[in-house]
Amino acid sequence: MRYLSAIVILFCVGGTLHAAAEEHATTSEQGQASEPDEPSARLSYFLLPIEVDSDSGADNGDALISRVLPANSIPLGEKWRLLNLGILTIADAPGGRPGSPGNPDSLPSPQVFGLGDITDAVLFSPHGAVWSFGAIFSFPTATDDALGSGKWNAGPAFRLSYRSGPWALGLLGGNLRSYAGDSARGDVHQLLVRGLVRRTVNEKWFFVYAPIITANWNADSNQRWLVPIGGGFGRHFIFRRPVNVTLQYYSNVVRPDGAPSSVIRFGLTIPFSIPQKP
């Protein structure tokens, strides 16, 4: 049942992506599902990666977590760009999973299925720069208390991105602190970091390491960090649009007590660009 839920989610979102891609004309084809190295000042770029994590080894059982990560880059005049990076999570999991992104003070619960809290980062970047800065927000949209923090959260965010030859490196980080919400729930003070190391092997294949690292500053020092080590491979496909498909494995070499010990991740990314009106 858990895997059937993930397939249904991927089918529905994939159909939406395909329809949106058909609606917008593409003025440049990159041949691979990634943002161009030097984006035109007159183009908006849109990526909608989809990920499905199957984690195991947690004290309260395994989980299946699907994430939709819309990423939009919009030109602001000739010198700046606006980056909007979102995270929408749909989980089939028991609650009380230490180290959960956006939900470090999770509630114990039986297996539940539903929407988690929505996270969104808004960043500004000069054209041609490898850095961006802005803010990250998290909203209590979870359909079950076990899947969200019950808090309104916000904090600073940053992004680094660098490409050279076959290598692509990236880092997105934000520190969330709660400022409103359910007074019965614990306060949130959590660092979220998403890394990227990608090495192209040939025209079709590449290696990828994309860990999700968290730190719960309200926890004891020996229960604070969740750090995965691993990686996997991806392949470029060209259908009506370029597509990336990845399969990765991670071992949580540093983790709080009770957190999952490992995760298998399937990823799908479809990009398209939107020309701006003169």
* pLDDT at site 20: 33
* pLDDT (tens digit per residue) in 88-99: 999 999 988 888
**Higher-scoring residue by pLDDT: 2, 47:** 47
* pLDDT at site 6: 41
Distances (CA, A) of 249 to 34, 77, 163, 230, 233: 21, 41, 24, 6, 10
* pLDDT at site 140: 96
* pLDDT at site 275: 52
* pLDDT at site 8: 41
| 272: pLDDT strictly greater than 70 | no
Candidates 115, 6, 119, 120; CA nearest to 55 is: 6
Average of pLDDT values for 111-127?
A: 94
The full length of the chain comes to 278
Average of pLDDT values for 256-267?
A: 96
* pLDDT (tens digit per residue) in 135-157: 999 999 999 999 999 999 999 99
Non-local CB neighbours of 117 within 8 Å, separated by 6+ positions = 89, 102, 103, 138, 139, 140, 141, 142, 147, 148, 149
Candidates 73, 148, 71; CA nearest to 105 is: 148
* pLDDT (tens digit per residue) in 219-236: 999 999 999 999 999 999
**Higher-scoring residue by pLDDT: 228, 203:** 228
Backbone torsions φ then ψ of 186, nearest 5 degrees: -70, 150
Cα 68 to Cα 258: distance, rounded to the nearest angstrom: 26
**Higher-scoring residue by pLDDT: 89, 106:** 89
Candidates 196, 175, 181; CA nearest to 149 is: 181
Non-local CB neighbours of 164 within 8 Å, separated by 6+ positions = none
**Higher-scoring residue by pLDDT: 31, 98:** 98
* pLDDT at site 28: 29
What does the mean pLDDT of the chain come to? 83
Average of pLDDT values for 25-41?
A: 37
Residue 61 has which token pair?
């059982």
**Higher-scoring residue by pLDDT: 61, 264:** 264
Cα 245 to Cα 237: distance, rounded to the nearest angstrom: 8
Cα 249 to Cα 233: distance, rounded to the nearest angstrom: 10
| 14: pLDDT strictly greater than 90 | no
